[in-house]
């Protein structure tokens, strides 16, 4: 089994109103050194081993998990260790 | 004209759309469940507003892969009028039938109010009953209507007169170029955040939306008449 950790972030050219609101709150809490806040998504997939897990994850991200008009994604594939 | 109103789990404007067509236009209309796979026999396709699949992941992202969607794409390719309102617009964007994407509203609030819309292109089959640049009153109700596209796409939309509606006066959600509704290059797929079906009867406060449906019917009558006589 593989554990896939997918990180989805808004493209730099896209304004993030949520991030701006959170940054304002941090400034109100006196964390004046916070320069920017960007909010993204973190998704975990558990996948059975197959020949091309990375290729599948690319397709899954392009088709469904991310909207590449506004978002970028990256992922990490780890060996699932059963305890 | 026989119209299909697609119903997803979480659609909540399907009945408004149904009655706008049935009672407002006086035309035949059916609900079509998302799990169906054919739209054969329908002349026009409506994708209503709501929160399909709870808006999980992104608005419209999951609906885009519903069983009915290949039939919607086929109908669009065949040149049938396809109207997506609010969540329907978001689904059309996710499906790639229209360019761009939706972001959360600029001020993060879900906005539910009647706004002024300007008709920027009254030459489409959805807008012939409006005057060019006419300002109409149509309700909006969305949290993610902040239309975004890149510069090249915006230029293409502007150069080809594909921005059909803009917000007149204050832009409620921060959309690029005040965009409220756009059309595809072929001119048969319209996506818009405001709800014409909620303004289809004077009793609802405005009947400005009814003319959009009348425009579709008018175009359909003219094109079928032309087909019979040619």
- Which chain B residues are within 8 Å of A13, Cβ to Cβ? 150
Quickly name the fold that domain A2-79 has. Mth169; Chain: A , (3.30.1280)
Per-residue pLDDT tens over the stretch B74-108: 999 999 999 999 999 999 999 999 999 999 999 88
pLDDT of residue B229: 63
Q: What is the CA radius of gyration of chain B?
A: 16
State the pLDDT confidence band at B1, using cuts at 50, 70 and 90.
Answer: very high
Tokens of B61: 């992202």
Q: Is the pLDDT confidence value at B227 over 90?
A: no
State whether A17 and B101 contact (CB < 8 Å): no
Residues of B catalogued as catalytic: 86, 195, 197
Q: Is the pLDDT confidence value at B41 over 90?
A: yes
* Chain A residues with at least one Cβ partner in B under 8 Å: 13-15, 17-18, 21, 64-65, 67, 69-70
Note the pTM of the prediction, 2 decimals: 0.93
State the pLDDT confidence band at B193, using cuts at 50, 70 and 90.
Answer: very high
**Domain spans of chain A, in order of start:** 2-79
b/e sequence B210-225, b meaning 16+ C-beta within 10 Å: bbbbbbbbebbeeeee
What does the pLDDT average to over A24-49?
Answer: 96
Identify which of B65, B101, B104 has the shortest CB distance to residue A67.
B101
Task: For chain B, list the domains and their CATH numbers.
Answer: 2-229 (3.40.50.880)
| Share above pLDDT 90 across residues of chain B, in percent, rounded to a whole number | 94
Q: Is the pLDDT confidence value at B230 over 60?
A: no
Cβ-in-10-Å burial (0-12, 13-18, 19+) of B7 comes to: buried
Distance of CA B111 to the CA centre of its chain: 18
Residue-level length of chain B: 230
Closest residue in chain A to residue B104, using alpha carbons only: A17
Identify which of A14, A18, A69 has the shortest CB distance to residue B108.
A18
pLDDT of residue A81: 76
State the pLDDT confidence band at B6, using cuts at 50, 70 and 90.
Answer: very high
Residue B138's contacts (CB-CB under 8 Å, 6 or more residues apart) are B114, B115, B117, B194, B195, B196, B198, B199, B206, B208, B209
- Which chain A residues are within 8 Å of B100, Cβ to Cβ? 69
pLDDT of residue A80: 83
Beta carbons of B121 and B159 less than 8 angstroms apart: no
- The strand pair at B146-148 and B101-103 is best described as antiparallel
What does the pLDDT average to over B174-203?
Answer: 97
């Amino acid at each position: 089994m593989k554990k896939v950790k997918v990180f989805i972030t808004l493209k730099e050219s896209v304004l993030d109103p949520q991030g701006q609101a959170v940054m304002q709150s941090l400034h109100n809490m006196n964390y004046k050194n916070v320069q920017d806040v960007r909010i993204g998504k973190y998704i975990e997939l558990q996948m059975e081993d197959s020949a091309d897990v990375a290729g599948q994850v690319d397709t899954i991200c392009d088709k469904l998990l991310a909207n590449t008009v506004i978002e970028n994604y990256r992922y990490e594939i780890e060996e699932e260790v059963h305890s | 004209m026989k119209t299909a109103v697609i119903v997803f789990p979480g659609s909540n404007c399907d009945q408004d759309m149904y009655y706008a067509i049935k009672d407002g236009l006086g035309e035949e209309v059916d609900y079509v469940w998302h799990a169906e796979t054919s739209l054969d026999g329908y002349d026009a396709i409506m994708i209503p507003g709501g929160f399909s699949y709870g808006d999980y992941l992104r608005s419209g992202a999951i609906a885009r892969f519903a069983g009915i969607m290949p039939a919607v794409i086929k109908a669009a390719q065949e040149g049938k009028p396809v109207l997506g309102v609010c969540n329907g617009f978001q689904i059309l964007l996710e499906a790639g039938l229209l360019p761009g994407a939706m972001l959360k509203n600029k001020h993060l609030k879900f906005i539910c109010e009647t706004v002024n819309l300007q008709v920027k292109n009254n030459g489409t089959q959805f807008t012939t009953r409006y005057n060019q640049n006419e300002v109409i009153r149509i309700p909006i109700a969305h949290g993610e209507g902040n239309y975004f596209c890149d510069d090249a796409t915006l230029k293409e939309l502007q150069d080809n007169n594909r921005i059909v509606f803009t917000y007149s006066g204050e832009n409620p959600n921060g959309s690029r170029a005040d965009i409220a509704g756009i059309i595809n290059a072929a001119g048969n797929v319209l996506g818009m955040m405001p709800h014409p079906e909620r303004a289809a009867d004077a009793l609802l406060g405005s009947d400005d939306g009814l003319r959009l449906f009348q425009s579709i019917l008018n175009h359909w009558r003219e094109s079928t008449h032309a087909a019979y006589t040619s």
